[in-house]
Copies of this chain bind each other. A is one copy, B any other.
Amino acid sequence: MLTDKGVILVEGVNRGDLILEPLTRKIYIELGEPSLNDNQADVDRLVAALRKILGPVTVPLTVMRRVPGVLLEAGWRVTVTLGEEASGTLILMDLEPGNTTNRHYGLAVDIGTTTVVVYLVNMQNGQIMGTAADYNGQIFFGEDILTRIYLGSTPDGLEQLQRAILDTLNKLIKQLIKKHNVEAREISAVAVGANTTMVHLFLGLDPSRICKAPYIPTVNSPGIIPAGQLGLQINPLAPVYCLPSVGSYVGGDVVAGVLVSGLHLSPELSLFVDIGTNGEIIMGNRDWLVGCAGAAGPALEGGVAKNGMRAEPGAVDSVRIDPDTGKVYYTTIDGVPPVGICGSGLVDCLAELLLAGIIDRSGRFKDGRDRFVVVPAEESATGQDIVITQADINNLLRTKGAVNAALELLLESVGCDLSDIERFYVAGGFGQYLHLESAITIGLYPDLPRDRMVRLGNSSGEGARLVLLSKQKRVEAEEIARNITYFELNASQAFMNKFVGSMFLPHTNLDYFPTVKEKLIQRGLLYPNSSVT
């Protein structure tokens, strides 16, 4: 089980105050009592009163049925909950006796391929009341996204996967509402940040063409869908808004990240990177946005490296190697005996192996061995050595190479240089825990002045919170999705060329990584003025 520490926006991002204009609103209203001289029908009376304040309001049949009873019970003093239809028209979602405007709840949801996080949000003040997280129940059917796309291409498989994510979400929702004394039907809105495939599987849409040229999703902007149509156990009329995708490989989670970073509003050239199963890169400023997604490969996810594992208790999450003695110092999550190595541990390993001179800049063990023992058998929880192998290293190199190549391609396409980048935003839970210096040492992150680098934490969830609470942010999100010029790397020979050329640590051209070059020189691993070993 994951802890429920929801990592939301942390360091250094400067957002203005959020103007609260949530996906739904609650309004207390006092109606005149009907009489022989004022015999307007109940629903018409309510609609007319609301129209005066808000304009036209639609009343669904299920709510219409409840109107007379609630009005009579409440003495014509009621609180209405209003949502928006896909078209933007107001819809009467709920009616409660008396004034209940202080109980107004929504959910911000991050559906990751691996992890799902649900934030219970008080929509009256925008605050997060509680967080619940768990693995995506779809993991049972396959850890990687391609397996799920393949399974989701059959109607039965699609139904299984949709049910799995709904079960996960409903379980988390149940935990949250129980803990915070909220009733399910008091949750009147949901915003979702997720990649394109996750959105398809959540909505029960065929994902099969996402991974086949020309890579066409069923939908990028699904708009607003009532919760009841999906099977979310909250108010069945609650609008569920999925952040729009740019394309098959740049999803609503990335749009959320850009939204949270604010780079789309800034005059400065900024870079946004989310490295997970895929690596997504967005570059731009308030005038233009370009983006691409590399099949970064799941080298950093649990279960790929020989002793790789998810960031769970017992995972080696940081590693240091003494360059003189070769002794390994490590820490594990929750300090329990080591079981395996998670992503941040792997990146640390690679960086430290390079800096200790154990591997060369092409990633090969200098002494010809095929593995390095990080944790000896006698210290591990498994009774086996915990190792990083040559194959693991090669995988990591491919991942970082894909990110390098994509970034270079984007820079070239807009005629910019790495040094032009004034902000570098790192998204995702992985980005949150990765050690910055190690990531730079292996060349996964660019070697920029450190004060330009900002971690966004779970920007997919935070982006969902923003669009849950703010109409302005929804407009911005739609604009971001529409305005990103997407480069399809799957079809690019230039990408393949750059990819092959970037399989060195930290990079073929060391001048791109001045601080790493300096470190290597200090450690005697590189002669000054040489740029290739």
Q: State the CA gap A206–B86 with chains docked (Å).
A: 29
With A65-B206, A206-B68 known to touch, is A41 a contact of B219 (CB < 8 Å)? Answer: yes
Contact B206 A69 (CB under 8 A): yes
Contact B219 A44 (CB under 8 A): yes
Number of copies: 2
Please give the distance in Å from A496's CB to the nearest CB on chain B. Answer: 15
Choose one: B36, B61, B245; the contact of A488 (CB below 8 Å). B36
Q: State the CA gap A247–B223 with chains docked (Å).
A: 38
Q: State the CA gap A65–B36 with chains docked (Å).
A: 50
Q: State the CA gap A486–B87 with chains docked (Å).
A: 35
Q: Does A43 contact B (CB under 8 A)?
A: yes
Contact B65 A87 (CB under 8 A): no
Q: Does A285 contact B (CB under 8 A)?
A: no
Produce 1/0 per residue, A74-96, CB < 8 A to B.
00000000000111110000000
Q: Does A222 contact B (CB under 8 A)?
A: yes
Q: Does A214 contact B (CB under 8 A)?
A: yes
Contact A218 B41 (CB under 8 A): yes
Q: Does A67 contact B (CB under 8 A)?
A: yes
Q: What total of chain A residues lie within 8 Å of the partner, measured CB to CB?
A: 52
Contact A247 B214 (CB under 8 A): no
Contact A216 B34 (CB under 8 A): yes
Contact B87 A214 (CB under 8 A): no
Q: State the CA gap A85–B90 with chains docked (Å).
A: 12
Contact A204 B61 (CB under 8 A): yes
Q: Which residues in B have their C-beta under 8 angstroms from that of A62?
A: 229
Choose one: B42, B89, B203, B215; the contact of A87 (CB below 8 Å). B89
Q: Which residues in B have their C-beta under 8 angstroms from that of A218?
A: 41-43, 64-65, 67-68
Q: State the CA gap A245–B41 with chains docked (Å).
A: 10
Pick from A44, A56, A60 the residue with the most CB of B within 10 Å. Answer: A44
Q: Which residues in B have their C-beta under 8 angstroms from that of A88?
A: 89
With A58-B87, A86-B58, A87-B58 known to touch, is A44 a contact of B221 (CB < 8 Å)? Answer: yes
Q: Which residues in B have their C-beta under 8 angstroms from that of A69?
A: 206
Please give the distance in Å from A217's CB to the nearest CB on chain B. Answer: 4
Q: Does A205 contact B (CB under 8 A)?
A: yes
Contact A214 B34 (CB under 8 A): yes
Of all chain B residues, the one with the shortest Cβ separation from A47 is: B221
Pick from A34, A39, A230, A245 the residue with the most CB of B within 10 Å. Answer: A39
Q: Which residues in B have their C-beta under 8 angstroms from that of A61?
A: 203-204, 222, 225, 229-230
Q: Does A491 contact B (CB under 8 A)?
A: yes
Contact B43 A219 (CB under 8 A): yes
Q: State the CA gap A154–B247 with chains docked (Å).
A: 52
Please give the distance in Å from A6's CB to the nearest CB on chain B. Answer: 28
Please give the distance in Å from A37's CB to the nearest CB on chain B. Answer: 8
Q: Which residues in B have their C-beta under 8 angstroms from that of A214?
A: 34-36, 38-39
Contact B219 A39 (CB under 8 A): no
Contact B488 A87 (CB under 8 A): no
Q: State the CA gap A214–B41 with chains docked (Å).
A: 10
Contact A247 B39 (CB under 8 A): yes
With A68-B206, A203-B61 known to touch, is A217 a contact of B85 (CB < 8 Å)? Answer: no
Q: Does A59 contact B (CB under 8 A)?
A: yes
Pick from A43, A87, A215, A245 the residue with the most CB of B within 10 Å. Answer: A87
Q: Which residues in B have their C-beta under 8 angstroms from that of A204?
A: 61, 65
Choose one: B43, B60, B203, B491; the contact of A64 (CB below 8 Å). B203
Q: Which residues in B have their C-beta under 8 angstroms from that of A215?
A: 36, 39
Within residues 477 to 533 of chain A, which ones have a CB less than 8 A from any CB in chain B?
486, 488, 491
Please give the distance in Å from A190's CB to the nearest CB on chain B. Answer: 14
Produce 1/0 per residue, A44-71, CB < 8 A to B.
1001000000001011111011011100
Of all chain B residues, the one with the shortest Cβ separation from A35 is: B214
Contact B58 A219 (CB under 8 A): no
Q: Does A220 contact B (CB under 8 A)?
A: yes
Q: Does A471 contact B (CB under 8 A)?
A: no
Contact A205 B64 (CB under 8 A): yes
Q: Does A209 contact B (CB under 8 A)?
A: yes
Q: Does A475 contact B (CB under 8 A)?
A: no
Choose one: B38, B43, B203, B220; the contact of A44 (CB below 8 Å). B220
Pick from A41, A60, A206 the residue with the most CB of B within 10 Å. Answer: A41
Query: What are 15 A-B pairs with beta-carbon distances under 8 A?
Result: A35-B214, A39-B214, A39-B248, A41-B219, A42-B216, A42-B218, A43-B219, A43-B222, A47-B221, A56-B87, A61-B203, A65-B206, A67-B219, A68-B216, A87-B87
**Given A44-B221, A47-B221, A58-B85, 11 new contacts (CB under 8 A):** A34-B216, A36-B214, A36-B491, A39-B488, A43-B221, A58-B223, A59-B219, A64-B222, A65-B204, A67-B219, A68-B216
A-B complex: 8 closest residue pairs judged by Cβ atoms: A87-B89, A43-B219, A58-B86, A41-B217, A41-B220, A36-B214, A34-B216, A41-B219
